[in-house]
Structure 1
C-alpha cells in the first residue's frame, strides 16, 4: 500500500465532518482500504462509520467479521440478547444487523481473511453456552491473511 493512500485514510479517520467521512467511505472501491479503516475506527463514537463501511459494495466478509468482533459481537453469541440492557439499544441493533448479514452470506467478497480472536477454550465455552453458533464466527474466514497496521496516532502513555 502506498504511503499517500495510508495518509488519506488517516486523514479520513481524523476528519470531523461526519457527512464528508461517510461520503468518502462510500466512494472507496478497494476492500483493503475499507479493512484498514475498519481496523482503526473508534466505535465508541457510534456506529455510523462502521455501517458505512459495511454498506460499501466492496466490503469483504473478513472486514465484516473484524467489525463484529471489534464491536463485542461475541456477546451476542453467548448471552441472551433480550437480557442485555436497553441502554445498549444502538449496539444491539448494530450487532444483530451485522450478525444477520454475515449469516445470510451478504458479503460476496471473500479475499481478506479474518481469524477470530478465540482460543480453543474460548470456542469450547461459547459452544457450551450456544451449540448453534454458526461456524463463520469461529473459524478463519476465506481469503488472504493480512497484517493490518494501526494508522491512528497513539496517545502518550498508551499501550496500544
Structure 2
C-alpha cells in the first residue's frame, strides 16, 4: 500500500469505533474508496453508511459499495425474505440507490465498473427501465488499483 495511505491499514485493523469516529473527518475520496474496498462486511452496514454520508464520497465508491452489498440482487428484485438482516440490507440499498439515482454524489473521479454480463444488464433493464446507467455501465475515472491499493 502507498505510504500516503498506510494509516488506513492501521485504522482498519483497529477498534471499529475508532474507524467510525474518523470516517466523518476524511476529506480524501481515494482514502474513503480504499476503506470501502477493504471493509469487512461481517461488521455490518454502519461503516459503509458513514462512507456514503461523507460529502467526499465519490460516485465510483458509492457504486462499488452498492454492488459489494449485493446490489445486483436488489436491482433484480430478490428481496422477498422478511428476516431482520434482510430488512437492514434492503433499507441500506434503498437509501444508497436513492442517493445515486438523485445524483447526490458530486465527486465522479474514481473508476468503478460493475461485473455485469450483457445478459444481466438486459435483464435488469427489463425489470426496471429506470435504473441509472451509472449502475449498469460504471463510472469513468482513476483506477485506484493502478496506484497500488488492490481495489477495483
Corresponding position of 2:102: 104
User: In 2, distance between residues paired with 1:59 and 1:91?
Assistant: 20
User: In 2, distance between residues paired with 1:29 and 1:129?
Assistant: 37
Corresponding position of 1:86: 83
Residue among 17, 20, 23 paired with 1:22: 20
List per-residue Cα deviations over 1:17-71 (Å, max 9, x = no partner). Answer: x332111111211101110111110122101111111111111000000000000
Corresponding position of 2:75: 77
- How many residue pairs get matched? 148
Corresponding position of 1:6: 5
Corresponding position of 2:136: 138
CA RMSD, aligned part only?
A: 1.9
Structure with larger Rg: 1
Corresponding position of 1:67: 65
List per-residue Cα deviations over 1:53-106 (Å, max 9, x = no partner). Answer: 11111110000000000000121111164x233331111111111000110111
Q: Secondary structure at the match of 2:129?
A: coil
Compute the displacement of 1:112 (Å). 0.7
Q: Secondary structure at the match of 2:6?
A: helix
User: If the length of structure 2 is used for normalisation, what is the TM-score?
Assistant: 0.87
User: If the length of structure 1 is used for normalisation, what is the TM-score?
Assistant: 0.83
Structure 1: where are the runs of 5+ without partners?
A: 152-160
User: In 1, distance between residues paired with 2:11 and 2:129?
Assistant: 40
